[in-house]
Structure 1
Amino acid sequence: MNLIISGHHLDLTPAIREYVETKLDRIIRHFDHVIDIAVILGVEKPSEKDKRQRAEVNLRLRGNVIHVESFAQDVYAAIDTLMDKLDRQVLKYKTKLQDHQCEAIKRMPAEAQAAE
């Protein structure tokens, strides 16, 4: 898994980088088939004073890309909400994969078909 953390009009300190990496461990714990992750942290225009900090992530999986973005006043708050959203999306994708990998009805044993 490749991890790219970049800043747009924002200095990436080692503390921010470590915070993002620890938050991403939760995502990897749920679903480990991740090809690469690109996290972009930035500051929006000064005219948007209520929500200035932006965090977005592109998570590449086999056959799919999950894009999530979040805005907040603090960069750490933006990262927290971003990881919450990403966690929900990854769990949704994982359950979708597991549901579609069920065995076909014509290949099921006769007892199971009789029960339905």
Structure 2
Amino acid sequence: MNIEITARHFDLTPQLKENIERELNGLTRYFENIISADVILDVEKYRQSAEIKVKVYNQSITGKADSNDMYASIEMAVDKVKTQLKKYKGKLKEKHPDKIEEKVERITRPKTNVDEVDQ
């Protein structure tokens, strides 16, 4: 997943960057095929906001949050994106149940055409 982070009106610290990357990599538990994520962090007086845009297939999912703490804003925005990813994955399962079961069957099906070798 490509992650692009933009910080407005403040300098991005390495700890904040690591936190964002860890949180966004955790989203792959809910949806495996995330193409990219754009994170925009903004500071205006006492308000610190985080906006996360995640691209999956032909869908763009956005989560925004504001608070007095940047880490809290990021966590709230990630939670919003997580909720939307779960909802989107559920819709995909409803529309295409055969494809998902076929993929699961392909992964779990044992290989039966293995030749035994006598020694």
Instruction: State if a TM-score over 0.5 links the two structures.
Output: yes
Distance in 2 separating the partners of 1:28 and 1:41: 21
Q: Give the equivalent residue in structure 2 for 1:9.
A: 9
3-state SS of paired residue (1:32)? coil
- Superposition deviation, residue 29 in structure 1: 1.7
- The equivalent position to 2:57 in structure 1, one of 62, 70, 75, is 62
- Superposition deviation, residue 40 in structure 1: 0.7
Distance in 2 separating the partners of 1:102 and 1:27: 22
Write the letter of the residue equivalent to 1:29: R
Distance in 1 separating the partners of 2:2 and 2:97: 31
Asked if 1:74 is matched to 2:69, the reply is yes
3-state SS of paired residue (1:82)? helix
Give aligned pairs, total. 98
Task: Give ranges in structure 1 of 5+ residues lacking alignment.
Answer: 104-116
Give the TM-score, by structure 1 length: 0.79
Runs of 4+ in structure 1 displaced over 6 angstroms?
none
Give the TM-score, by structure 2 length: 0.77
- Superposition deviation, residue 102 in structure 1: 2.9
**Identity %, equivalent residues:** 37
Deviations 1:36-91 (A, max 9, x none): 100111112x3xx4xx0000011111111011111010001101111111110111
Structure 2 counterparts to residues 1-116 of structure 1, below 5 A: 1-44=1-44, 46=45, 49=46, 52-103=47-98
